[in-house]
């Protein structure tokens, strides 16, 4: 089955229509998706700002950054769960939406960026502060993360206008 | 009510019409509102977590509060400016909305609480207080701020 037909089917399953037609379920899921932002993306943004040397310099990078990456683990499960549910209810509409497609590509890029950071820079973080801040490569990852996360939020908000 | 006609004449002011009627005007303003919300609530959550001693314990509370402040204040400026623009673009959607009124009450309370009570609890001169009181303060702060968010979301669903 082609993907768009599958999306069409998904959107019209009993489960999806139950959420769409519920008076309180859809607002609750959508609200949770938005209000999990500070507990997920927001924490990543703080870590990015620290890596870029733009704030929060009261503690060594190798201590500070992992703390915030850990905090983001509160919000991301909520994000993916509610995002998945929202997608099910609007799969066919989302399929053709350029902003939704951009959002997915951005999320994929952020995943790759996170793996690169984890592999290349994370193990050596403890050595940084004596050598004067994060290396250029780590700063690039942080700037990339910050900009693309902003893109995800902008696309997520804008896709609602294109339906 | 005399307020609505006045607001509607403001909403027909050229710069606001430009934002409202251009294809990406409102999505852009709404995106700024959401980005501001993210930064604002993030700084509030971090400050409250530190206040109750969940994480960041090596980071001095007053120092963290000081370093979070410009981001909190900057985010408040962004949400208020974009929020005002959203309000003025379509005032009819908001003046009679119950969730909107609730949102404004919660917003004023949250701002007041943040810059008076919570500030005292997170400043250098903060007196030693029991953990229970700190937890209560954090609960009030988070309830007020997240309440603003939920009331804002409710505008779209409840008259």
pLDDT for the residue numbered B98: 94
Confidence band (pLDDT; 50, 70, 90) for B127?
Answer: low
Contact residues, chain A, for B46 at CB < 8 Å: 43, 46, 71
Give the relative orientation of helices A25-35 and A61-89 as an angle to the nearest 10 degrees.
Answer: 160
- The answer on pLDDT for B1 being more than 60 is no
CB B48 within 8 A of CB B142: yes
pLDDT for the residue numbered B131: 84
Query: pLDDT digit string (tens) for A111-122?
Result: 999 999 988 888
pLDDT for the residue numbered B9: 81
Taking CA–CA distances from B70, the nearest residue in chain A reads A55
pLDDT for the residue numbered A131: 58
- The answer on pLDDT for B121 being more than 90 is no
CB B44 within 8 A of CB B113: no
- The answer on pLDDT for B21 being more than 80 is yes
The Cα–Cα gap between A61 and A129 comes to 7
Query: pLDDT digit string (tens) for B49-104?
Result: 999 888 777 788 888 899 999 999 999 999 999 999 999 998 888 988 999 999 99
Query: What's the mean pLDDT when you consider all of chain B?
Result: 89
Give the residue from A55, A142, A153 showing the smallest Cα distance to B43.
A55
What is the mean predicted confidence (pLDDT) over B141-156? 95
Confidence band (pLDDT; 50, 70, 90) for A145?
Answer: very high
Are B45 and A42 an interchain contact pair (Cβ–Cβ within 8 Å)? Answer: yes
**% of chain B surpassing 70 pLDDT:** 96
Contact residues, chain B, for A45 at CB < 8 Å: 38-39, 42
Query: pLDDT digit string (tens) for A59-97?
Result: 788 888 888 888 899 999 999 999 999 999 988 888 889
pLDDT for the residue numbered B128: 66
CB A79 within 8 A of CB A33: yes
Q: Is B154 touching A (CB cutoff 8 A)?
A: yes
Count CB pairs under 8 A between chains A and B.
Answer: 88
Contact residues, chain B, for A54 at CB < 8 Å: none
- The answer on pLDDT for A47 being more than 90 is yes
Cβ neighbors of B78 (< 8 A, separation 6 or more) are B32, B33, B35, B36, B39
Cβ neighbors of A103 (< 8 A, separation 6 or more) are A151, A152, A155, A156, A159
CB B53 within 8 A of CB B131: yes
DSSP B64-97: HHHHHHHHHHHHHHHHHHHHHHHHHHSGGGTTT-
Give B8 to chain A, closest Cα distance, Å: 23
Query: What's the mean pLDDT when you consider all of chain A?
Result: 89
What is the mean predicted confidence (pLDDT) over A29-57? 93
pLDDT for the residue numbered A87: 92
């Amino acid at each position: 089955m082609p993907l768009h037909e599958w999306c069409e089917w998904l959107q019209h399953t009993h489960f999806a229509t139950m959420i769409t037609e519920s008076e309180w379920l859809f607002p609750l899921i959508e609200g949770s998706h938005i209000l999990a932002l500070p507990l997920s993306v927001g924490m990543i943004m703080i870590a990015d700002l620290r890596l870029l040397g733009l704030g929060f310099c009261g503690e060594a990078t190798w201590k500070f950054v992992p703390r915030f990456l850990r905090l983001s683990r509160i919000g991301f499960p909520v994000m993916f769960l509610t995002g998945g549910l929202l997608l099910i209810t609007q799969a066919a509409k989302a399929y053709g939406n350029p902003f939704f497609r951009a959002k997915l590509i951005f999320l994929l890029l952020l995943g790759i960026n996170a793996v690169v950071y984890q592999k290349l820079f994370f193990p050596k973080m403890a050595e940084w502060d004596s050598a004067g801040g994060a290396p250029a490569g780590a700063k690039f990852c942080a700037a990339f993360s910050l900009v693309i996360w902003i893109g995800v939020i902008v696309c997520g908000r804008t896709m609602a206008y294109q339906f | 009510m005399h307020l609505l006609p006045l607001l509607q004449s403001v909403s027909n002011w050229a710069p606001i019409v430009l934002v409202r009627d251009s294809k990406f005007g409102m999505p852009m303003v709404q995106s700024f509102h959401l980005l501001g919300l993210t930064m604002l609530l993030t700084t509030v959550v971090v400050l409250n977590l530190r206040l109750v001693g969940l994480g960041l314990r090596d980071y001095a509370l007053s120092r963290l509060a000081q370093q979070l402040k410009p981001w909190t204040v900057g985010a408040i400026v962004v949400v208020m400016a974009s929020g005002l623009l959203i309000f003025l673009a379509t005032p009819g959607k908001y003046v009679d909305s119950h969730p909107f009124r609730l949102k404004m009450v919660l917003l004023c309370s949250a701002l007041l609480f943040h810059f008076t009570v919570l500030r005292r609890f997170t400043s250098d001169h903060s007196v030693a207080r029991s953990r229970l009181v700190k937890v209560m303060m954090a609960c009030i702060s988070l309830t007020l701020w997240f309440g603003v968010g939920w009331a804002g979301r409710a505008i779209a669903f409840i008259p």
